[in-house]
Amino acid sequence: MPLLNKAPKALLVLEDGNFFEGFAFAGSGETMGEVVFNTGMTGYQEVITDPSYKGQIVAMTYPLVGNYGINAEDMESSGIHLEGFIVKEYQPNPSNWRMRQSLKSFLEEHGKIGIEGIDTRALTRRLRLSGAMKGIISTETKNISELLEKVRAYPGLVGRDLVREVSCQKSYLWKKGAPSSNKIPSKKPGKKLRVVVLDCGVKYNILRLLEKNGCEVIVVPAFSTGAKILSYHPDGVLLSNGPGDPAALPYIVETSRALIGKLPIFGICLGHQIIGQAIGGYTSKLKFGHHGINQPVKNMDTGRIEITSQNHGFVVVPESVKNKAKKTFDNLNDATSEGMKMPLVMSVQYHPEASPGPHDTDYLFIQFVQMLREERRKAA
Amino acid sequence: MPKRNDIKKILLIGSGPIIISQACEFDYSGTQACKALREEGYEVVLINSNPATIMTDPEMADRTYIEPITPEAVEKIIARERPDALLPTLGGQTGLNTAVALAEAGVLKKYNVEMIGASLEVIHKAEDREKFRYAMEKIGLRVPKSGFARSLDDVLKIADEIGFPIIVRASFTLGGTGSGVAYNREELMEIAKGGLDASMISEVMIEESVLGWKEYELEVMRDKANNVVIICSIENFDAMGVHTGESITVAPAQTLTDREYQNMRDAAIAIMREIGVETGGSNVQFAIHPQTGEMIVVEMNPRVSRSSALASKATGFPIAKIAAKLAVGYTLDEIPNDITRETMASFEPTIDYCVVKIPRWTFEKFPEAEDFLTTSMKSVGETMAIGRTFKESLQKAIRSLEIGRFALGHALPEDLKDKKDFLKSKLIKPNSLRLFYIAAALQNGMSIDELYQLTKIDPWFLHQLKEIVDAETELKNSAPSVELLRAAKKMGFADRALASFWKMTELEIREWRAREKIIPVYKLVDTCAAEFEAYTPYYYSTYEAENETRPSTKKKVAIIGGGPNRIGQGIEFDYCCVHASFALREEGVESIMINSNPETVSTDYDTSDKLFFEPVTLEDVLHILQTEKPEGVIAQFGGQTPLNLAKGLEAAGIKIMGTSPDAIDRAENRDRFQEIVRKLNLNQPDNDTARDVEKALAAAERIGYPVLVRPSYVLGGRSMEIVYDAETLKTFMAKALLVSPEHPILIDKFLEDAIEIDVDAISDGTTTIVAGIMEHIEEAGIHSGDSACILPPMTISEPLLELIEKQTKMLAAELNVVGLMNIQYAIKDGKLYVLEVNPRASRTVPFVSKAIGVPLAKLATKVMLGKSLKELGFIEAPEPKHISVKEAVFPFNRFPNVDVLLGPEMKSTGEVMGIDHSFGLAFAKSQMAAGFKMPTKGTIFISVHDYHKDKIVSVAKSFQNMGFKIIATKGTAKYLKEQGIEAELVFKVSEGRPHIVDYIKNGDVQMVINTSMGRKSSRDALHIRRGALIYNILYTTTIAGARALCEAIAAIKSEDWQVCSLQEYQNK
């Protein structure tokens, strides 16, 4: 690599008029989204394949990205959903025994732009001070005011349903760590516990962990109705993570209302926000969100501190669900609510499936499965 | 959980002298612990034998014992102080071992002292190989397979279970002799046989080889509520096989995916819980197979360590401080994160920069030792650099090493071109210069694949090095341009390197950059990658868009630190810098610290108002000063490193506080100094300077042999030698001109058998106070840093003392000293000679400060700010009633084949202090503190050079009168017998068996007195001294040392020695 970067120049313009100059290490063109920062020092492959980042441009605060390439196992979905990827310095010579391809080729395969040479710390500080902002990346023009006009016209995330764009369109069975083409069983489950996952943009590791804990996993589109879900005779339902504004998803709130109280439900991230709304609460937008893998939460039952993986820009306003659900987890950094429970319902704002992130809270999947067993026993 | 109220008084054990593998990092951790515990209202009792530590400042603890860190001394302290608890995990391996010994001896039980942080059981479980293996297997983790063998049959049996390749390590040898890697049975037999022979106890360890695997470390913390967090991950640049203290290391880990990192994290947490470290910090090391990803647990340390100090500096998370708070019962979510204030310590730091640590070796001090890195440490210090990319950090770290290199491929020996075979040999076998040999190999076009095969360094790192080397080539082959300049600065190239590539001067590059506004910005180390606002001003530089420093409008002063520890420049200078910072705070002046040494207290983020973790080079320091615009800088405290910058800083318009750089030059420049000597009518040993061999020979001829020769402008007596003949002088000149080509070689008449004196004084420009006069135990000719010394002096007459004081004041006045000054004098035949004047902080400042109870460096700082000594109330140095002895501690046991003889070149890494009411006891304590067992009965072995024979008689007589048996080699025995001393004859190694080394091995010798003349010594003498070293038998190589030991042993035989705290001494 020559000392002077020969890659096409790229511009990042934020809606407040701030701009950053860099180079496109992958792809070219123009892309818009809400710019957020992620503080994880590992896990870029999981981040870019996480459907929750739909509509967002992600800047990694750790400056060196691409170090270990891309491998076959660490996919969190089948593709890349974020709108653009920003790093300080792209690493063109990855090294890891599981590596299959470079980050650059992976991004390009999926038509995404990756830019480098950005003072990502300055960008992060800007986002921390001003809050998450809309941004545009372009390799096409150097005209900042033109880009600024475009980005200001871009609708942003609030009020937008992005779930439809990332959810599966057809139900499928998850088997042996991958979507299976096998027919979905419609008859009552046998010995195995059956979980229907409402796919709002589900991360594969949620499915992997359910399967690992002995569940038969059926993934259904986000627009599935309560009746449709119940027609699979599941032991429980998991409302998955997903992108965008939870307030823009009344149909999913409706679906979950039809399920609450009928069978065990586990909500993760967006799923947690859906449940919050279904029981009468509402959500609000955080200034710059939690995107990282070092967020400490306190388990209110045990008092134990757990380090969690988080990725959300919205939260359930605690007062709005105060008398309806019990708070189960607290964020130790900013005291926001990280989880709640009610009879047959458990939900967390963070990501117990990690990927990327610590495994401190994967016991929640065991708890969920225990809840399913318990219910089955009661029913028997 | 709130803090414990059932304990009130806590005993902390420090780590003692600076030795290889245990350096200032334990002063850093201990100081943090003292502060943290006192902040919580606990009474702290501290023991540490190292006077150059901040933790032993009397303000840091309620009771400070500068006593030997031995179970015996600690028991005496416990009996006196009756602490409720003992915190053993912050004083390195020394602290831990001492605590274990006390627990096992039942002392803790007897006095009802609770071990907090880690229990005896936990320590055993972590440190005992078998117990650890068992614990790991229990939680499904693997450690390398291994076993001990005492015969070749055993070796084969164990090898069958392990499988090849196999590492053979001889037990009980020094520096890795008798060890090797075997790839087949034949090799195994050969190496094992050598190992069994080399081992003093005929034992070898046979271990599964994980050489070439990737090496990682995690720094882990656990609290009472069983919460566990990871503070930092570290990836070793060097693969397994090189001790982590000898490896270049990088934080965070670079080549692990999240999946792999989380598996390692899970393992570390499981290990913490299984071993049962109740509270505090630990470090776990892992090896990862580079092709399969298989993970092996290498070891865990249930205490804070060198790596945890590095992790603290790398992340901003103060591990030792938090560990101390956890030990008294707090949980992580109850302790605030100082840096962000709004968040708590219960999180995992995330960083947005790359940290590179490079060890600092001093193989040049031990020419007999092979430059070969292995699993035993040889480096004496380290430097750390922070940048936004690996390439930038690495290049910053390289120039921080102060080895004359300002970029990866800069200043490589030219003759490496086309020397592929030579390079290959240097790449296969790890050594202190391997990084640069890799650069040379890359310049020669070696492929990454081949480099990987030779070095096993991960290709990711090799590619980074290649990018730098390619960039250098591009720079050298291009005309200078602003674009290239900017890109080069982003990649971490120093101006000095660019100047050499482009045939310009450093100043030209600097001015060009200033015109083009290519200057660095400063970013914060904040534990959270900017997610929260940070309040602690801890900065590093980089070439990017946004600058985060906010220079205040307050009055401020910058302090320049000493960079990495090395022999001759260590913790003593950091101590002075820290005191400067404290003094500035007391005076209401903002302090700005600049340093690159991660082990130190000076680089703790709460020592100064602002910390810049930066290379201590002219370029980097100037950038900071031009951004912060302090009133002036203190350059006289950090040793030679900042002094070397003083002229350049002054030329750039920076004000140097205190004594002027010109005065320093007048003292260091031989010709200019002679003018002063003449003017003041002082005596100096006859001397001359020479820039070539001919002139040197002529000068030596005129002065008369023996002569003392050395290059000027060096610290620690680098390359200094006593030369007895012309032949040796020729060899010396050839070497010395290499070390310091710009400066002339100094040639002095060597004063044989003179008494050497060290004086530390302080002056405000008008008044000079002689703070301490130290008399050396060893005669002149042995480097002052290596000699034991005593304060107050014992054998110097009153008129001579008065003369010393008078001359010191004259010199201070003549040089216009404002601040500290150190002078070395010699007394021969009643005449006083000035040997050397250093108008700056000396190595002995902490020792003198503790001996007389006056914080000299603080006073000197205030003097530099314009206060007079009178205003400060320091008008007379107190005359202590007690005796203080300083003794040097040496790293000889780390280097096979190195002789332990002392000479004018400094070899010691650290020092200890012994205090008591008599010289004998104070000296005895200093020896115990240095790690020797003081015999009260048994056998003394004497073998001295002919020149010393008459002088040893009285010593031998005293030992005999005390009931010791004397054994001696032929010549000495004969001489002693003639003098009426019963000396039993013992063979030298070359004379037959049983010889003296057999006696040593059998434990039949309790002390060795063995002297030589000059550098040359016989193989026999070497055997004797190495034997004493390996068996840690009290030894001395000088007559003066023998006399002192004699007095010390007499003292401990005649009375039961006591311990006493510094606070008590100083109130007496």
> DSSP for B728-786?
HHHHHHHHHHHH-TTSPEEEEE--TTPEEEEEEEEEESS-EEEEEEEEESSPTTS-TTT
Distance from CA of A86 to the nearest CA of B (A): 14
CB A184 within 8 A of CB A173: yes
Which residues of chain B neighbour A74 with C-beta distances below 8 Å? 257-259
Alpha carbons within 13 angstroms on the beta-carbon side of residue A109 total: 12
Of A62, A96, A307, the CB nearest to B255: A96
Q: For residue range B316-351, list pLDDT tens digits in order.
A: 999 999 999 999 999 999 999 888 888 889 999 999
Q: Which parts of B9-70 fold into alpha helices (H)?
A: 25-39
CB B597 within 8 A of CB B574: yes
Cβ within 8 Å of residue B215, ≥6 positions away: B235, B236, B238, B239, B240, B244, B247, B285, B286, B287, B288, B298
> Does the pLDDT value for residue B930 go beyond 70?
yes
Least confident of B276-290, B801-815, B889-903: B889-903
Q: Which of residues 341-360 of B touch A (CB under 8 A)?
A: 342-344, 346-354
Q: For residue range A323-364, list pLDDT tens digits in order.
A: 999 999 999 999 999 999 999 999 999 999 999 999 999 999
Query: What are the structure tokens assigned to B345, written together?
Result: 């310590």
- DSSP collapsed to 3 states, B872-888: CCCCCCCCCCCEEEEEE
Give the mean pLDDT of B413-426.
Answer: 85
> Does the pLDDT value for residue B414 go beyond 80?
no
Amino acid letter for position B876 = E
Output the pLDDT for position B717: 66
Q: Give phi and psi for B508, each to the nearest 5.
A: -60, -45
Catalytic site includes residue A81: no
Of B227, B252, B258, the CB nearest to A46: B258
> Does the pLDDT value for residue B1016 go beyond 60?
no
Give the mean pLDDT of B699-728.
Answer: 83
Which residues of chain B neighbour A61 with C-beta distances below 8 Å? 350, 352, 529-531
Confidence of residue B713 (pLDDT cuts 50, 70, 90): low
Query: What are the structure tokens assigned to A106, written together?
Result: 């992976």
Contact B258 A305 (CB under 8 A): no
Q: For residue range B874-923, list pLDDT tens digits in order.
A: 999 999 999 999 999 999 988 877 888 888 889 999 999 999 999 999 99
Strand boundaries in B589-646, DSSP class E: 590-595, 610-613, 632-634
> Does the pLDDT value for residue B175 go beyond 60?
no
Q: Give phi and psi for A226, each to the nearest 5.
A: -60, -40
Distance from CA of B501 to the nearest CA of A (A): 15
Output the pLDDT for position B183: 87
In B, minimum Cα distance to A87 occurs at: B352
In B, minimum Cα distance to A289 occurs at: B531
Of A45, A67, A332, the CB nearest to B254: A67
pLDDT over 90 percentage in chain B: 81
Output the pLDDT for position B846: 98
Contact A305 B332 (CB under 8 A): yes
Output the pLDDT for position B176: 60
Give the mean pLDDT of B31-44.
Answer: 97
Output the pLDDT for position B180: 82
In A, minimum Cα distance to B254 occurs at: A67
Contact A61 B261 (CB under 8 A): no
Instruction: Single out the residue of B14, B47, B43 nearest to residue B29, CA to CA.
Output: B14
Secondary structure (3-state) at B259: helix
Burial A297-330 (b: 16+ CB within 10 A, else e): bbbbeeebbbbbbbbbbbbbebebbeeebeebbb
What dihedral do alpha carbons B75, B76, B79, B83 form, nearest 10°? -70
Q: Which of residues 524-563 of B touch A (CB under 8 A)?
A: 528-533, 544-546, 548
Which residues of chain A neighbour B458 with C-beta distances below 8 Å? 95
Q: Which of residues 251-270 of B touch A (CB under 8 A)?
A: 252-262, 265-266
Which residues of chain B neighbour A41 with C-beta distances below 8 Å? 233, 252-253, 350-351
Output the pLDDT for position A1: 67
Contact B475 A3 (CB under 8 A): yes
Segments of chain A with pLDDT less than 50? none
d(CA B604, CA B587): 20
Least confident of B221-225, B373-377, B698-702, B930-934: B373-377
B978 to chain A, any CB pair closer than 8 A? The answer is no
Distance from CA of A303 to the nearest CA of B (A): 8
Q: Which ipTM was obtained for this model?
A: 0.97
Q: Which of B264, B531, B548, B550 to mutate to test the interface with A (most CBs of A within 10 A)?
A: B531
Give, rounded to a whole angstrom, the gap between the first and last alpha carbons of chain B.
Answer: 42
A168, A200, A215, A269: the active-site residue: A269
In A, minimum Cα distance to B530 occurs at: A125
In A, minimum Cα distance to B526 occurs at: A121
Instruction: Single out the residue of B407, B556, B546 nearest to residue B489, CA to CA.
Output: B407
> Does the pLDDT value for residue B252 go beyond 90?
yes
B336 to chain A, any CB pair closer than 8 A? The answer is no
Amino acid letter for position B673 = F
Q: Select the more confidently predicted residue: B733 or B581.
A: B581
Of B226, B343, B459, the CB nearest to A333: B343
Q: Between vectors from CA B735 to CA B729 and to CA B741, what angle results, nearest 5°?
A: 110
B227 to chain A, any CB pair closer than 8 A? The answer is yes
Which residues of chain A neighbour B227 with C-beta distances below 8 Å? 304-305
Distance from CA of A122 to the nearest CA of B (A): 6
Q: For residue range B812-821, list pLDDT tens digits in order.
A: 999 999 999 9
CB B767 within 8 A of CB B870: yes
B803 to chain A, any CB pair closer than 8 A? The answer is no
Catalytic site includes residue A110: no
Give the mean pLDDT of B501-519.
Answer: 97
Work out the mean pLDDT of chain B and round it to a whole number: 93
Give the mean pLDDT of B976-1004.
Answer: 92
Which residues of chain A neighbour B253 with C-beta distances below 8 Å? 41-42
Q: Which of residues 371-390 of B touch A (CB under 8 A)?
A: 388-390
In B, minimum Cα distance to A21 occurs at: B545
Cα Rg, chain A, nearest whole Å: 21
Distance from CA of A351 to the nearest CA of B (A): 14
d(CA B156, CA B163): 10
Q: For residue range A285-337, list pLDDT tens digits in order.
A: 999 999 999 999 999 999 999 999 999 999 999 999 999 999 999 999 999 99
Contact B344 A307 (CB under 8 A): no
A15, A116, A306, A353: the active-site residue: A353
d(CA B816, CA B810): 10
In A, minimum Cα distance to B349 occurs at: A294
Cα separations (Å) of B369 from A57, B306, B378? 56, 24, 10
Contact B352 A63 (CB under 8 A): yes
> Does the pLDDT value for residue B784 go beyond 70?
yes
Of B342, B459, B488, the CB nearest to A3: B488
CB B21 within 8 A of CB B95: no
> Does the pLDDT value for residue B990 go beyond 70?
yes
A-B C-beta contacts closer than 8 Å: 180
Distance from CA of B491 to the nearest CA of A (A): 9
Output the pLDDT for position A288: 92
Contact A293 B258 (CB under 8 A): yes
> Does the pLDDT value for residue B487 go beyond 90?
yes
Contact B458 A95 (CB under 8 A): yes
Distance from CA of B352 to the nearest CA of A (A): 4
Distance from CA of A18 to the nearest CA of B (A): 12
Query: What are the structure tokens assigned to B751, written together?
Result: 């004063």
Output the pLDDT for position B129: 84
Catalytic site includes residue A291: no
Distance from CA of B414 to the nearest CA of A (A): 24
Beta bridge partners of B460: none
